[in-house]
Amino acid sequence: MKWALAALAIIMAALAVGSIWQPHNPHAVDLDAVLAAPSPDHWLGTDHLGRDLVSRLMAGAISSLLAVVVALVASLGIGGLIGALAALGNEPVQHASRRLAELALSVPTMVSALIIAAIFGAGPVTTALALAATAWAPYALVVAALSERLMAEPYWRAAEALGVGRARGMIRHLLPNLAAPLGALVGADAGRAVVLVASLGFLGLSADTGRPEWGAMVYEYRLFLFDTPRLLLAPIFAISVLALMMHLGIEHLTAGGPQGTRWSGRKEQTQ
């Protein structure tokens, strides 16, 4: 699966370049080139306002990608912290952490997106907050469940008997063992996040429908599905490829990581 990681790196580099350079102005209206067919000057043709489709795809990628990355980082950070509290805290903290995660898990993403959009307005930040508001809960429950299982291992009990603090034990013993399963979860969640960002964009929660954003472009071009399907298929294809490559690439990247650090009595004694 190294090809998936290489493909993801190439896609990320292309999106980074596309965010600062486009072959044409993605907002420029040219009524003389309305719905122009693909050509050497317009690789995917133009839309119903004569705007270059490739340029709009390139300009719209950064807002979608930014929302996905922020949402994943926030979800993993918040979920990891709450999960650690649910596993390592005292009984009231454990109980409160688990109930909070279960409550967040029961809230539909769309409901939280509408509430956050009403407070902060539409935009990529709104999309990222809407995803992170509920997406952290599975990470918390996974971290809590796996941590409890790992804390029953002999090496953890031996470390505790030698006076290793829980914070240090979490970093030294639990985190390496959590890396692979959490990486797989992030990989699966990355593809879902790309689709959710596009869905929120389709509803107008991540950008104004006139701005070049993939989900918003799907909404804007939906009327041309039968007459000029390439307008609709282009952003849908971009969304699908990015979701698939993020899923496969991140999963492969984390699958090769450390599977865990087993306790060494002599090493702990000497530290």
Mean pLDDT for the stretch of residues 196-215: 78
Q: Which domains does the chain have, with CATH numbers?
A: 53-262 (1.10.3720.10)
Give the SS3 label for residue 216.
helix
Q: How confident is the model at residue 255 (pLDDT cuts 50, 70, 90)?
A: low
- Contact, 214 vs 61, CB < 8 A? yes
Q: Is the pLDDT reported for residue 252 higher than 50?
A: yes
More confident call, 158 vs 22: 22
pLDDT single digits (tens) 73-129: 889 899 988 988 888 888 888 899 999 998 988 888 778 877 887 787 777 777 888
Q: Is the pLDDT reported for residue 211 higher than 80?
A: no
pTM: 0.78
Q: How confident is the model at residue 206 (pLDDT cuts 50, 70, 90)?
A: low
Mean pLDDT for the stretch of residues 251-258: 59
DSSP element (H, E) containing 168: helix 166-169
pLDDT for 210: 62
What rounded mean pLDDT belongs to the chain? 81
Q: How confident is the model at residue 231 (pLDDT cuts 50, 70, 90)?
A: very high
Mean pLDDT for the stretch of residues 47-67: 89
Degrees, nearest 5: CA angle 73-21-12: 35
Instruction: Return the number of other C-beta atoms located less than 10 Å from residue 244's C-beta.
Output: 16
